[in-house]
Each structure stands twice: as C-alpha cells, then as structure tokens.
A = this chain, B = another copy of it.
Amino acid sequence: MAMRSHYCGLVTEALLGQTVTLCGWVNRRRDHGGVIFIDLRDREGTVQVVCDPDRPEMFHTAEEVRNEYCVQVTGLVRARPAGTTNDKLKSGQIEVLCHELKVLNPSVTPPFQLDEENLSETTRLTHRVLDLRRPYMQHNLMLRYRVAMEVRKFLDANGFIDIETPMLTKSTPEGARDYLVPSRVHPGMFFALPQSPQLFKQLLMVAGFDRYYQITKCFRDEDLRADRQPEFTQIDIETSFMDEQDIRALFEHMVRTVFQNTLGIDLGSFPVMSYQEAARRFGSDKPDLRVRLEFTELTDVMKEVDFKVFSAAANMPGGRVVALRVPGGAEISRSEIDGYTEFVKIYGAKGLAWIKVNEVAKGRDGLQSPIVKNLHDAALDAILARSGAQDGDLIFFGADKEKVVNDAIGALRIKIGHSEFGKKKGLFEDRWAPLWVVDFPMFEFDEDEQRWNAVHHPFTAPKDGHEDWMVSAPEKCLSKAYDMVLNGWELGGGSVRIHRADVQQKVFDALKISPEEAQLKFGFLLDALQYGAPPHGGLAFGLDRMITLMTGAESIRDVIAFPKTQRAQCLLTHAPSPVDEKQLRELHIRLRSVEAPKAA
C-alpha cells in the first residue's frame, strides 16, 4: 500500500518485467565497474538494486547513500546475469534496475556494523534499535509472533476465550518477591504486580467462563539468573469440566500444532513419565531425553561396603547411591575426571568416585579405580550387572542425600551428554525430546522450617484416593500436577485444582496455614469455592522460554524486544531512574537512604 508495492525480501522471479516500488534500508552499497549495487533490506529480507549511471540524477543520489539510509526505490525487476544468482535469498534470482531513488531519511554512521558478530550485550542493549534491525532479531521476534498467533488460533478453535486479569493486584507474601506499586489514593497501601493470574483464572472458572486463556506479563522481583527477566510472558490457560488426561491430551495437541505450523516439526506423541521414574532414572523432574545415559540404582547393595562414603549414604534416611555408566568413557582422561569432580561440587556433591572398566570378564581385576578395594564382590557384581557395563566404559558414582545425588549426577549426565565426547560417542541424540512428567508429590518437607510445603501451589488437587493422606501421611500423597518438558527444559506446567472448599481446607491444615491466615491471603478464593465451583484445572507455558528453545537463541534476551539486563536495568531508556520528590510525596513514601541519588 501507498509508499511501497512489495516487501524487498519477497521480490522474486514471479515479478519479472514488472515495475516495483520498495522501501527499506541500505544494507550494503558497493561500486563495481561504474555501477552501484545496493542491497536493500526490510523485515522480509534483502533485494539487489542496480543503479546505472545512465540516469544521472538517480545515480548521483545512489553515490550519496550510506549504510542504514532509509530509501525508496522504483525500478524494473529483471533476471540477474548468469553466474550472479544467489540461491540463499528468496530474491536471489532477480535484481531491480533502479529508475528512481529517493532518500526518505539519511543515517549517521551506526556504532557497529549490523553483520558484526560477537557484539557485547551491553552494546547491543544500549543500541537496541539498531540491534533489532539485524535479521537474527527480526526472525526471533517474528517467530515469537507467529507462535503466539498459532496458540491463539488453536485456543479459539477449542472454545477458549481471552479474558484480561488485573495488573494492579494484591500482594501475597509467599512464593517469589512481589513488585509493589504504592497507592496515591490510599496512603500506606500498595498494589502488587501479578506473579501469575492463578487466583483470577480460578475465579473465572467459578464464574462460569468455562475456558479461559491469556498471553500476559507476569512479574517476579528475584535475583536474576541467566534466563530470568523481571517481567516475563506466560501463556496462561484454565478449563472447567476436563480431567487430567483430557487436559494433557489437548495441550499436547496444541504444542504439536504450533511446532508443526511454525517450524514444520512433528514432535510426535509425548511419553508420560512419573516424577518418581524421572528422578530414579535421570535424577531430574525435567529430564533431557536426548542424553542416552541413565542412573543405576545401588543404594540397596551399598549398605555394608567398607567404602564409608557409599555405606553412610546408603544407610542415612533419604540417602541414595547411584552409578552413571558412560559407554566408551575409559577414554576420558584423569584431568577431565578432575574437571567433572569440580563440576559436581557446584551441586553439593563432596566428590566423584569412578571406576574404569577395562575388562568385564576379569571381574575385580578388570577394573581400575581407587575405590574398588573397598567394595565387596556382591557390590561390584551389582554395579557391573545392573549398569550393563562393557569393556571400555567409565562408571561414575554419586552417594549422598537423595537430592544432592540427583542434582549432581543429573547435571553430570547432561554435561557429559552435551560434551564433544558425548556427541562423538552417540550419547546425545539430535532431536526434539518432549515428555510429560506427572504424579508429583503433593508436599515436600522443609528441613529448616520443619514443616511440609506444597510442591506446586496449595490449590493443586490430590490424586483420587490420596485426600486422606494429606494430613496422616503427607509423604505418600501425590497430586494431579503435570509438567511439559522439552529437551530438558520445563516448557509449561499445571494441575487439576481443588474445587471443593473442604478439600482446600485439608491442604491448608496439612501446610499448617491457619484459618485466619488462609482467609487473609486467599479469602476471596475460599469464598468463591462455596458457590458451586466447577471441577477445573489448567496450565501455563513460559512463552519466552518456548521461543528461546524454538529459535535456538543463546539467551532469553534474544527473544524479547526490550529486555532488562541481569541487573534489572533497561540500558536503552535508562530505567529504573530517579523520580521527583513531588512524586514520592504524592505516594506517601520517602526514600530510606539519607542521600537521594542524583538525577541521571
């Protein structure tokens, strides 16, 4: 429309012989044999524009344009001369012979070349507008849009409706830290930005909207790890009158549809694995199934070995001893093993025992390891038999509290799998590996506080028949929670919720939340459950993470237009920033420090 007839990147041989008008940015200009070539770029790609000196006015303009000038070109689409075509571009078979060239806006010299690699993140975020012009960022954000739109189309077709929930809501001091917003009208009072629309979406189910979704911002004021942002985007979904299996089936279908329609990838049907099995086999509740390494359980046979590290772990309450067999691992050098030993310490392991399997047939004598002499024959036999050890393997061991073993050996499993060695040895399958993890425990015991906490959140329903264990035997009680995992990342998760006030009360009892406290924090939900709340459940997907996975981006910040740094700052707009004293006074607050920061 208007200033343009076509996008640059979409001019193809279908338009041969036609006159087109294009608008875009000068990606590159080169003079070659008295002719000027301009690679003109817009969001759909680039096209080659040829400026001949036989139109002197146009040619003069062409001589003046520089990189990142915004220009309008009118010209004739013609075939590129033989030998100069470019099969990598959609427009690679043609070029545009320029008739008119107009500078819409010149550009000063950019602080970096758009095709420069290894730019620092500080440079990129400071000059975000130019960074966003790069095809990599254009692609990431356009894919993000396509994914969100595919999600909307799928949900629309399935009767889900988008209902907006408040951004200015109530602080509930649990979970992560809230972002607070002082109220001007109500002195001393604060709104909180939502950590998720959890309670509101449950209220919408009680209100009878039946199927809800929202793609919405959530906020957590946490110390930022590599892949966290103060504000992040959630695909938030809730439905009434569907059970756990129905919900999983529908949203597996949704994610498969989205991958198919945006990337052309069929994820196949998702395996379902219990939390218990995932922990047992992979030491993780979000196992990366691309890594072909599994734990071997050894706790039972290590109770009476002389090697104290193993026997102590095998005998302590909640202790665990496992092996991780690495096929072909005998090639791994001592210094690499030392590196892995340091690595597992990050996860709380005190060391990393190992055995090199030189010759299985020789039994004890075929093994090379500092610990073999302290293991009795039955233990050694179990290690070799259960792990299926072969000549040339390396076996690592973890022995500690279960959590430490799972975290440390689980991380080691990933690290070896993803290493050059792992890829060479076929320990890593290059594929998409989705699964559901189900049957999570309802509660976990907090040793420090000496109390039970909810593994998901206190509105998660127990499995049928587990209700009575909530107070009598919380450790046995499983929940109707489920996580969708892809390539070792949690893509989303949710649960069937409690819809009866009496069951909700039992959970609060188990969590030692007093009726007063429950009323104060969740009174509006408890109240709502009394009025014929329907059976309901749902889940939420992290959109930022999903797009990071789908694009293969290095960082979540590469799939967000204007992200914050890991210090929670916007380098482009310089937010946060100081504000006027008058503004603070209106909000009934003052700064705690004696000296206010200077205006930036």
Q: Which residues of A contact B (CB under 8 A)?
A: 1-4, 7, 23-26, 41-43, 68-70, 104-108, 110, 128-130, 132-133, 138, 141-142, 144-145, 148-149, 152, 156, 161-171, 173, 177-193, 199-200, 203-204, 206-210, 217, 219, 221, 230-231, 233, 240-243, 246, 250, 499-500, 520, 524, 527-535, 560-562, 564, 567-570, 572-580, 583-593, 596-597, 599-600
Q: Across the interface, do A588 and B579 meet the contact criterion of CB distance under 8 Å?
A: no
Given A161-B142, A166-B562, A206-B129, do A188 and B597 touch, yes or no (CB 8 Å)? yes
Please provide the 8 A-B residue pairs with the shortest distance between their CB atoms, ordered closest to farther: A107-B532, A132-B207, A189-B576, A70-B532, A170-B575, A183-B576, A145-B161, A3-B241
Q: Across the interface, do A208 and B42 meet the contact criterion of CB distance under 8 Å?
A: yes
Contacts of A138 in B (CB 8 A): 208-209
Contacts of A167 in B (CB 8 A): 167, 193, 217, 219, 231
Given A163-B145, A187-B597, do A208 and B576 touch, yes or no (CB 8 Å)? no
For the complex, give the distance between the alpha carbons of A166 and B230 in Å: 10
For the complex, give the distance between the alpha carbons of A107 and B187 in Å: 38
For the complex, give the distance between the alpha carbons of A600 and B208 in Å: 29
Which residue in B108, B560, B564, B586 is a CB contact (below 8 Å) of A168? Answer: B564
Q: Across the interface, do B181 and A193 meet the contact criterion of CB distance under 8 Å?
A: yes
Q: Across the interface, do B531 and A107 meet the contact criterion of CB distance under 8 Å?
A: yes
Q: Which among A105, A164, A499, A596 has the greatest number of chain B C-beta atoms within 10 A?
A: A164
Q: Across the interface, do A233 and B164 meet the contact criterion of CB distance under 8 Å?
A: yes
Q: Chain B's nearest CB lies how many Å from the CB of A214?
A: 10
Closest residue of chain B to A183 (Cβ to Cβ) is B576
Closest residue of chain B to A24 (Cβ to Cβ) is B208
Contacts of A592 in B (CB 8 A): 187, 584-585, 588-590
For the complex, give the distance between the alpha carbons of A68 and B562 in Å: 46
Contacts of A533 in B (CB 8 A): 70, 105
For the complex, give the distance between the alpha carbons of A149 and B179 in Å: 30
Contacts of A200 in B (CB 8 A): 561-562
Which residue in B141, B532, B573 is a CB contact (below 8 Å) of A163? Answer: B141
Contacts of A164 in B (CB 8 A): 217, 233, 560-561
Q: Across the interface, do A203 and B161 meet the contact criterion of CB distance under 8 Å?
A: no
Which residue in B3, B528, B560, B591 is a CB contact (below 8 Å) of A242? Answer: B3
Closest residue of chain B to A204 (Cβ to Cβ) is B561
For the complex, give the distance between the alpha carbons of A518 and B475 in Å: 62
For the complex, give the distance between the alpha carbons of A106 and B499 in Å: 11
For the complex, give the distance between the alpha carbons of A572 and B526 in Å: 12
For the complex, give the distance between the alpha carbons of A200 and B167 in Å: 20
Contacts of A169 in B (CB 8 A): 570, 573, 575
For the complex, give the distance between the alpha carbons of A148 and B518 in Å: 36
For the complex, give the distance between the alpha carbons of A589 and B181 in Å: 12
A-B contacts, 19 listed (Cβ < 8 Å)? A2-B241, A3-B241, A129-B528, A149-B156, A152-B152, A167-B193, A168-B179, A168-B570, A169-B575, A171-B579, A180-B579, A185-B569, A186-B568, A187-B593, A188-B578, A203-B562, A203-B572, A588-B593, A590-B592
For the complex, give the distance between the alpha carbons of A560 and B533 in Å: 21
Contacts of A145 in B (CB 8 A): 161-163
Q: Across the interface, do B243 and A208 meet the contact criterion of CB distance under 8 Å?
A: no
Given A25-B208, A168-B575, do A221 and B141 touch, yes or no (CB 8 Å)? no
Q: Across the interface, do B168 and A572 meet the contact criterion of CB distance under 8 Å?
A: no
Given A2-B246, A534-B70, do A43 and B208 touch, yes or no (CB 8 Å)? yes
Closest residue of chain B to A209 (Cβ to Cβ) is B43
Q: Which among A110, A241, A576 has the greatest number of chain B C-beta atoms within 10 A?
A: A576
Given A161-B145, A589-B589, do A68 and B531 touch, yes or no (CB 8 Å)? yes
Q: Chain B's nearest CB lies how many Å from the CB of A185?
A: 5
For the complex, give the distance between the alpha carbons of A183 and B181 in Å: 10
Q: Which among A178, A191, A217, A233 has the greatest number of chain B C-beta atoms within 10 A?
A: A191
Contacts of A242 in B (CB 8 A): 1-3
For the complex, give the distance between the alpha carbons of A580 and B108 in Å: 51
Which residue in B4, B141, B173, B587 is a CB contact (below 8 Å) of A180? Answer: B587
> A108-B530, A141-B209 given. 11 additional CB < 8 A pairs?
A70-B533, A107-B531, A132-B209, A141-B161, A149-B162, A166-B562, A166-B564, A169-B575, A170-B574, A173-B579, A200-B562
Q: Chain B's nearest CB lies how many Å from the CB of A10?
A: 11
